[in-house]
Chains A and B, each alone.
Chain A
Amino acid sequence: MALSNVLEPAVSGFNFENSTRNTVLENGSEEGKIKAPKPMKTGTTIAGVVYKDGVVLGADTRATSEEVVADKMCAKIHYIAPNIYCCGAGTAADTEKTTDMLSSNLTIFSMNSGRNPRVVMAVNILQDMLFRYRGMIGAHLILGGVDCTGSHLYTVGPYGSMDKVPYLAMGSGKLPAMGILEDRFKGNMDLEEAKALVSDAIHAGIMSDLGSGNNTDLCVITKEGVDYIRPHRESLYNYKRQAKYKYKPGTTPVLTKTVNQLELVHETVQMMETAGSS
């Protein structure tokens, strides 16, 4: 078809054609300096803990665009496979797209092989991809899941580094969250203890870090299945406003009004076969 000649095949990797143009624009003449638009970051607290029967992952729900809260209820715990979930910190678009791609890859693998994917496979795919892009993809991820070999918790950094750990926190609020985890973590906790620990770690991040806030989401993954609790702990701060700020119709001044009459030129009726009709 003619269209396939117009579209070029996608070249792999990032396209840096605009990088010299961008530096010229940013360092331009005194009046002409143009700042590049900043991508939205999640400014987050995420945490994960391995307990007796599986893995508990937790995250806050605030997405910030520099100093403004862009989303008060964003979902940071992403689905990867029925037995694997991933929390993402860093640039919001990068974490979304990376986890989506990983999830698609693993679904194809499951269909091809007839097996549930293992957590190590997810980690390896992520490492390959992030290392290939040399840190340009700003995704700091915590992967947790339960497979035939047991429960696992991994972290993958934006440059492709990987670490396998029993408890972990990432994001701008990781220091307060790690403080709580270091204090109260022990091996083989039971479910309620593990949920309380992750929830308190996220809460510490929410209170001490300005980039994290609002509610806490939890995701409990076991051999039997997944319990995605959203929200687990709601923000206590829902102060009601004292007045109603509603405007009656007619409050907005109308400055000019133009009416374009559409002329009816031609009318046809076409019969179609639809699935619902006989």
Chain B
Amino acid sequence: MMISARAYGDNGKMKEYHYTGPVEHKFSPYAFNGGTVLAVAGEDFALVASDTRLSEGYSIHSRDSPKCYKLTDTTVIGCSGFHGDCLTLTKIIEARLKMYKHSNNKSMTSGAIAAMLSTILYGKRFFPYYVYNIIGGLDEEGRGAVYSFDPVGSYQRDTYKAGGSASAMLQPLLDNQIGFKNMENVEQLPLTLEKAVQLVKDVFISAAERDVYTGDALKICIITKEGIREEIVPLRKD
């Protein structure tokens, strides 16, 4: 246990030992379980990728806990942060999807799910779900859509977004390779599905090198009009 600076007086000499009073240990209702999610929208496809490591502190709880959850045939949500809240939130979203289907006789569209999630999250504005959400899917016209959220429900539609523990490492690379930011004299080709998948794999390999909470395996959900296809790629396990 480290001696705090309170033990030292103004002249730099250590104070005589005295009891500093009862110390309050706060109970925190949240825990950080790590994990990174990423979503990319293309012309006629969307990708949602996440690593599969579940950790707490310096330990690993599970090497096979993916963070992408399939909501409908055209929408996948990626949730990272506090795993307890991720599980509860996805249960609530799935229940609401069923309710919508029964009363409106159709599945919810990606945009509608995003709007609904925003109100669900803001409903707990004063005891938030500690979850970073990213929704990836196809909109009504069949084009790729990505919606990124903060823990209390602020959201916007993006072309690509990274969230979770290694998001600060992934986002700049995506800005450069997909958004062509900070570059000139470069041919700005539209993003194909193969290039997007290869970019996502490379970007997660780099994230696993430098972020301790990211690793074990990468699960990519590829959403096209044919349906949802999954690919699993191994990552560093150490």
Contacts and interface: CB of A to CB of B under 8 A. Distances in A.
| A joins B in a complex | yes
B184 interface: yes
Interface residues of B, number: 35
B205 interface: yes
B5 A208 contact: no
A243 B58 contact: no
A137 to B, nearest CB: 11
Nearest to B7: A19
B206 A241 contact: yes
Interface string A172-214: 1000000000000000000000000000000000111111111
Contacts of B8: 16, 19-20
Given A210-B60, A251-B186, A237 B10 contact: no
Interface in B190-231: 198-199, 201-202, 205-206, 208-213
Nearest to B186: A251
B205 A210 contact: no
Contacts of B198: 242-243
A69 B209 contact: yes
Contact of A17 (B12, B177, B206, B237): B12
A212 B12 contact: no
A37 interface: no
Contacts of B211: 67-69
Given A72-B209, A252-B182, A242 B165 contact: no
B16 interface: no
B3 A242 contact: no
Contacts, number: 92
A242 B183 contact: no
B6 interface: yes
Contact of B212 (A16, A69, A208): A69
Q: Chain A CB within 10 Å — which of B5, B59, B199 has the most?
A: B5
A15 interface: yes
A22 B2 contact: no
B40 to A, nearest CB: 15
B55 interface: yes
A253 to B, nearest CB: 5
29 contacts: A15-B12, A16-B8, A19-B8, A20-B8, A20-B10, A23-B5, A69-B210, A135-B2, A136-B2, A206-B238, A207-B237, A208-B60, A209-B58, A210-B59, A211-B58, A211-B212, A213-B212, A235-B236, A237-B237, A239-B234, A239-B236, A241-B202, A241-B206, A242-B198, A242-B201, A245-B177, A250-B184, A251-B186, A252-B182
Given A67-B165, A242-B202, 6 more contacts: A16-B12, A68-B212, A210-B213, A213-B236, A241-B205, A253-B184
Interface of B: 2-3, 5-6, 8, 10, 12, 55, 58-60, 165, 177, 182-186, 198-199, 201-202, 205-206, 208-213, 234-238
